[in-house]
């Protein structure tokens, strides 16, 4: 019986350098690419896509979170979703900007969306807080209060 050898962590890192590493919070999930089962890493800390659809190619595999939105009232009654946002990544599409998690923003639910970085999303959230404060002041005025 041989005793296992201890190796330094730096040596282990060098030995593992050529092997793709799974990031924290990611799990391996099977996806169906035109009938072939392929296993990909899925960031389950935010991805809610069940990955049960049949993909045409590996490039079509994307991760996405649930959508959040503001329900805005309309003249005719039902509310319309606005400022729809979700997290997405397209790890195999060959575009470095969309390969990493980014926020997708759709202003009024018309599929005209834009991907924004974390810094841009933070700036937009700051603008929304200012906008909400201004809306609160307007609400006070129309409610008979002073702004």
Choice between 59 and 83, CB closer to Zn ion: 59
The answer to whether the beta carbons of residues 115 and 98 sit under 8 Å apart is yes
Q: How far apart are CA 117 and CA 8, in angstroms?
A: 37
Q: Is there binding between residue 102 and Zn ion (CB under 5 A)?
A: no
Show the binding pattern over residues 23-52: x = contacts Zn ion (CB under 5 A), - = does not: -------------------x----x-x---
C-alpha distances (whole Å) from 121 to each of 4, 40, 98, 106 are 49, 27, 15, 12
The answer to whether the beta carbons of residues 21 and 6 sit under 8 Å apart is no
Q: Is there binding between residue 63 and Zn ion (CB under 5 A)?
A: yes
Choice between 49 and 59, CB closer to Zn ion: 49
CB 26, min distance to Zn ion, A: 9
Choice between 27 and 114, CB closer to Zn ion: 27
Q: Is there binding between residue 61 and Zn ion (CB under 5 A)?
A: no
Q: How far apart are CA 144 and CA 147, in angstroms?
A: 9
CB 29, min distance to Zn ion, A: 6
- Kindly identify the residues of this chain, within the stretch 106-125, that bind Zn ion according to CB under 5 A: none
Count interface residues toward Zn ion (CB under 5 A): 4
Name the segment binding Zn ion (CB under 5 A); options: 55-63, 68-76, 104-112, 138-146.
Answer: 55-63
Q: To the nearest 5 percent, what fractions of the chain are helix, strand and coil?
A: 25, 30, 45
Q: How many CA atoms lie within 13 A of 39 on its CB side?
A: 5
Q: How far apart are CA 5 and CA 132, in angstroms?
A: 61
Contact footprint for Zn ion (CB under 5 A): 42, 47, 49, 63
């Amino acid at each position: 019986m041989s005793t296992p050898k201890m190796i330094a962590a730096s040596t282990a890192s060098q030995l593992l350098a050529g092997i793709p590493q799974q990031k924290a919070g990611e799990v391996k999930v099977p996806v169906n690419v035109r009938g072939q089962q392929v296993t990909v890493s899925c960031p389950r800390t935010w991805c809610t896509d069940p990955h049960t659809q049949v993909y045409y190619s590996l490039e079509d595999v994307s991760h996405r979170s649930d959508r959040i939105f503001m329900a805005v009232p309309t003249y005719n009654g039902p509310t319309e979703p606005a400022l729809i946002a979700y997290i997405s990544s397209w790890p195999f599409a060959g575009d470095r900007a969309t390969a990493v998690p980014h926020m997708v923003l759709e202003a009024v639910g018309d599929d005209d969306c834009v991907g924004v970085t974390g810094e841009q999303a933070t700036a937009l959230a700051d603008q929304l807080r200012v906008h909400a404060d201004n809306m609160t002041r307007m609400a006070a005025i129309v409610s008979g209060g002073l702004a």
